[in-house]
Amino acid sequence: MATFLPGAFGAKTAPAPAEQFAPALQAHHDCADRCVSEGIAVSVADGAKKAVDTLQRCGVVQLLGAYDLSELDQFQKAFDQLKSREKAYKKLLDTKQLHDGRYQVYLPFTKPFSSRKTLGVSDLVLEVLRSYFLASGGSFGIDHVTVLTSSSGSANQSLHPDVHYFKGLSVSVHTALQDVPASMGPTFFCPCTGESLTREDWPPSAAIKMTILKRKDCLAAQFAPSFTARGTVTIYDGAMFHKGLENGSGRDRPVLKLEVAAEEFAERRNYIQLASAAAKKQVRRFREAMGPPYFGESRRQDL
Ligand SMILES: O=C(O)CCC(=O)C(=O)O
């Protein structure tokens, strides 16, 4: 890549001098240091503004107590029922797309899964998504929803973004279905990464991305929560670098994984191309019900 890029801009183009990126690199370090030292957890009482600020700054935020635990019990009951219907469950199972011991099951568009709150999108989470997607035009809707399991013994993943494009196009909303201690291998993040949508910030953010890909490691401070309580909702931008850590706990780590995309990005990305016909059918139904411009909701007047 290093030899290809200068050629792409013409044979005589000189590479950008390293000092040109020095202030942006310092800003990246400062940003990651702050996210790690202050943490990325926001309580429901702190409100949407703090959550949006953390998501915009760090690329990730954890909302504590954002999912009502009695509703989560209902979710778990319905999911256990789905698992017991072996034939239906198998049709929705995807063992191809995820790596290193992880697999996922697409949820059917049936009650209670067909309610946005059941998917982890409380009014607070909806407000956070609305504010976050404003930077990329304001329109957003569901891409797909699964339960992702990092099974016991799952290996460390390599660092990756979920989408190889700009920030603000795809967001993951992960609800912990069980308490996740460090031994279960939580998701690890390189805060403040992902290519910037703004013209001035794009060159250094792309340079940081290339450097991380080459090093296979964060360039600045890194973050993995030491404990994530059941019902915690973690929201992160799909363009940021992250990886699932090794699950050496002896128990599976299931997460309700909802991906939300800007405008028609879900169609363009086509994440579901490897999914079964049954899974694709359910995803279409979710997209019809919770698609752009506002996750299938008419916007409240007071927002
Ligand atoms: O296991 C995790 O925490 C993250 C999984 C992930 O990022 C992936 O499979 O792409």
Q: Is the CB of 102 under 6 A from ligand 1?
A: yes
Q: Is the CB of 118 under 6 A from ligand 1?
A: no
Tokens of 273: 């191309």
Per-residue confidence in pLDDT tens, the chain, 303 aa: 444 444 455 566 666 667 778 999 999 999 999 999 999 999 999 999 999 999 999 999 999 999 999 999 999 999 999 999 999 999 999 999 998 989 999 999 999 999 999 999 999 999 999 999 999 999 999 999 999 999 999 999 999 999 988 999 999 999 999 999 999 999 999 999 999 988 889 999 999 999 999 999 999 999 999 999 999 999 999 999 999 999 999 999 999 999 999 999 999 999 999 999 999 999 999 999 999 999 999 865 444
Give counts: helices (H), strands (E), the chain: 9, 12
Give, for ligand 1, the residue of 144, 148, 189 to mutate: max count of ligand atoms closer than 8 Å to Cβ: 148
Contact 168, 262 (CB under 8 A): yes
Residue 2: per-residue pLDDT: 46
Closest CA to 35 of 10, 61, 12, 16: 61
133 bridge partner residues: none
Contact 261, 137 (CB under 8 A): no
Q: Is the CB of 40 under 6 A from ligand 1?
A: no
Number of CB atoms found within 10 A of residue 299's CB: 12
Q: Is the CB of 176 under 6 A from ligand 1?
A: no
Q: Model's pTM, two decimal places?
A: 0.93
Residue 6: per-residue pLDDT: 47
Q: How far is the CA of 151 from the centre of ligand 1 (A)?
A: 12
Residue 20: per-residue pLDDT: 79
Residues 6+ apart with CB under 8 A from 187: 174, 224, 234, 236, 242, 243, 244, 245
Residue 126: per-residue pLDDT: 97
SS3 230: coil
Query: In the chain, what are the domains?
Result: 42-289 (2.60.120.620)
101 membership: H or E segment, kind and range? none
Tokens of 41: 């957890």
Distance in angstroms (rounded) separating the CA atoms of residues 38 and 33: 8
Give, for ligand 1, the residue of 102, 253, 257 to mutate: max count of ligand atoms closer than 8 Å to Cβ: 102
Contact 235, 55 (CB under 8 A): yes
Pick the atom of ligand 1 nearest to 97's CA: 9
Q: pLDDT (tens digit, 9 = 90+) per residue, 71-82?
A: 999 999 999 999
Contact 191, 221 (CB under 8 A): yes
61 bridge partner residues: 235
Distance in angstroms (rounded) separating the CA atoms of residues 30 and 25: 9
Amino acid identity of residue 113, one-letter, is F
Contact 231, 175 (CB under 8 A): yes
Tell which phi-psi region holds residue 255, choosing left (phi > 0), alpha (psi between -120 and 50) or beta. Answer: beta
Residue 165: per-residue pLDDT: 86
Residues 6+ apart with CB under 8 A from 229: 64, 176, 179
Number of CB atoms found within 10 A of residue 5's CB: 13
